[in-house]
């Protein structure tokens, strides 16, 4: 059990990203001093939104230069911190080199951040942004879980470098984090495992699959129909809240599935049609599995991925986060509608 001193700074990695920006905002609004470790602090355009957040908040922000792939670069930003929030990790589903673009940043980044943690005697707790992808690889995996629903006890054993490499990268990075944690006794580790994150972005230039997926509901990519994909959805603001509660709840421990509800693509499209009518070509029917399987390579994903996910229910149990962190969740309807409205108003559908 760790009690964190709120007068001490907190280091947050990945603060310019879709999730990380909201995490920074949550800590700033509580009056904390945030040490934002970013790749290019000298590029004022890339951190302007964080500066603006700080101006509107009682908290303060300081920027430090750090590189996920460079050992030791987090030492300066971490000095004097009792709390480390590590959220920097790419969320990309379509990559040419999964080892270089996904696995290396996730693994080396986590190793480098935790290396700095081991060298920084003030650190008491690390909150790591993992993913439900480290628990569920494919929707079909849920069939083997008790009651067909994943819990924090489960691990993704079906992903690999060649199949679902993003999920694989999150799995091996979190497993390594637990190994590093178990090798010492000074600091503890809490992981936040969100499902598919939606909800309003602080900056729309973020390279996140969340934004890309929601765009596809209205840009014509799915006008013929939606694939029968079941997913979990959680609002990005709730993900930030989960990080905050995991940081300052002394009894918090282990992994936390952070997910509002189990849903699917066609249900999300229905929420958007209800909110926006026929202004956009939202899908109104589910595409046959055989057709999606046939077209999968042209759409940028494998037929194996289609075979193991299409038509299977995806279920994850969020009760631990509700019970131990006191989480309440926004609906998937609110989250997808808020993000789509933001994209539409910025003319970036």
Domain assignment present for 3: no
Residue 236 belongs to what domain range? 10-344
| pTM reported for the whole predicted model | 0.95
pLDDT single digits (tens) 205-233: 766 788 888 999 999 999 999 999 999 99
Instruction: Indicate the number of domains in the chain.
Output: 1
> Which range among 56-70, 92-106, 296-310 shows the weakest confidence by mean pLDDT?
92-106
**What pLDDT, on a 0 to 100 scale, did the predictor assign at position 98?**
84
pLDDT single digits (tens) 13-36: 999 999 999 999 999 999 999 999
pLDDT single digits (tens) 230-279: 999 999 999 999 999 999 999 999 999 999 999 999 999 999 999 999 99
Domain assignment present for 107: yes
Domain assignment present for 228: yes
Strands 254-258 and 188-194, bridge-based pairing: parallel
> Does position 150 have pLDDT exceeding 80, yes or no?
yes
What is the spatial distance between Cα 195 and Cα 192, in angstroms, rounded to a whole number?
A: 10
pLDDT band at 44 (very low <50, low <70, confident <90, very high): confident
Find the catalytic residue in 170, 289, 304, 347.
Answer: 170
List residues bridging with 232 in a β-sheet.
262
Read off the pLDDT of each residue in 185-202 and give the average, rounded to a whole number.
96
What is the spatial distance between Cα 120 and Cα 114, in angstroms, rounded to a whole number?
A: 10
Q: Determine whether 170 is an active site residue.
A: yes
Rg of the Cα atoms in the chain? 20
- Residue 54 contacts residue 28 (beta carbons within 8 Å): yes
Domain assignment present for 5: no
Read off the pLDDT of each residue in 90-113 and give the average, rounded to a whole number.
83
Domain assignment present for 265: yes
C-alpha torsion 268→269→274→279, nearest 10: 150
Domain assignment present for 210: yes
203: which residues sit within 8 A by CB, 6+ positions away?
A: 16, 18, 21, 49
What is the spatial distance between Cα 279 and Cα 172, in angstroms, rounded to a whole number?
A: 43
Read off the pLDDT of each residue in 309-331 and give the average, rounded to a whole number.
97
> Does position 101 have pLDDT exceeding 90, yes or no?
no
Domain assignment present for 2: no
**What pLDDT, on a 0 to 100 scale, did the predictor assign at position 196?**
96
Task: Tell me the residue length of the chain.
Answer: 349
pLDDT band at 323 (very low <50, low <70, confident <90, very high): very high
pLDDT single digits (tens) 113-138: 999 999 999 999 999 999 999 999 99
Mean pLDDT over the full length of the chain? 93
What is the spatial distance between Cα 257 and Cα 152, in angstroms, rounded to a whole number?
A: 6
Instruction: Give me the CATH number covering residue 191.
Output: 3.40.50.720
Which range has highest mean pLDDT (42-46, 91-95, 198-202)?
198-202
pLDDT single digits (tens) 270-315: 999 999 999 999 999 999 999 988 888 877 789 999 999 999 999 9
Candidates 181, 36, 67, 73; CA nearest to 118 is 181
Domain assignment present for 339: yes
Q: Collapsing DSSP states into helix, strand and coil, what is residue 286?
A: strand
């Amino acid at each position: 059990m760790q009690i964190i001193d709120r007068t001490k700074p907190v280091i947050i990695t990945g603060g310019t990203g879709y999730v990380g920006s909201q995490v920074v905002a949550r800590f700033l609004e509580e009056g904390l001093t945030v040490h934002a470790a970013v790749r290019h602090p000298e590029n004022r355009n890339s951190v302007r939104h964080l500066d603006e957040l700080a101006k509107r908040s009682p908290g303060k922000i300081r920027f430090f230069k750090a590189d996920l792939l460079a050992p030791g670069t987090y030492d300066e930003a971490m000095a004097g911190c009792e709390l480390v929030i590590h959220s920097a990790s790419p969320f990309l589903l379509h990559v040419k080199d999964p080892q270089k673009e996904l696995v290396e940043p996730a693994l080396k980044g986590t190793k480098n951040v935790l290396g700095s943690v081991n060298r920084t005697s003030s650190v008491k707790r690390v909150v790591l942004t993992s993913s439900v992808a480290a628990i569920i690889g494919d929707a079909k995996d849920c069939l083997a879980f008790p009651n067909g629903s994943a819990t924090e006890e489960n691990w993704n054993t079906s992903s690999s470098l060649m199949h679902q490499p993003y999920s694989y990268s999150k799995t091996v990075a979190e497993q390594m984090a637990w190994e590093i944690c178990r090798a010492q006794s000074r600091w503890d580790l809490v992981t936040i495992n969100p499902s598919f994150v939606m909800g309003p972005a602080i900056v729309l230039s973020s390279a996140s699959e969340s934004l890309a997926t929601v765009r596809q509901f209205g840009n014509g990519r799915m006008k013929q129909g939606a694939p029968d994909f079941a997913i979990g959805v959680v609002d990005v603001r709730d993900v930030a809240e989960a990080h905050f509660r995991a940081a300052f709840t002394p009894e918090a421990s282990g992994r936390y599935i952070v997910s509002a509800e189990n849903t699917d693509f066609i249900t999300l499209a229905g929420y958007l049609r209800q909110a926006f009518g026929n202004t956009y070509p939202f899908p109104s029917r589910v595409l046959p599995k055989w057709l999606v399987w046939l077209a999968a390579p042209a759409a940028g994903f494998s037929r194996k991925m289609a075979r193991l996910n299409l038509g299977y229910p995806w279920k994850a149990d969020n009760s631990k986060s509700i019970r131990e962190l006191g989480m309440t969740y926004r609906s998937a309807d609110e989250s997808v509608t808020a993000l789509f409205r933001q994209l539409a108003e910025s003319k970036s559908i």
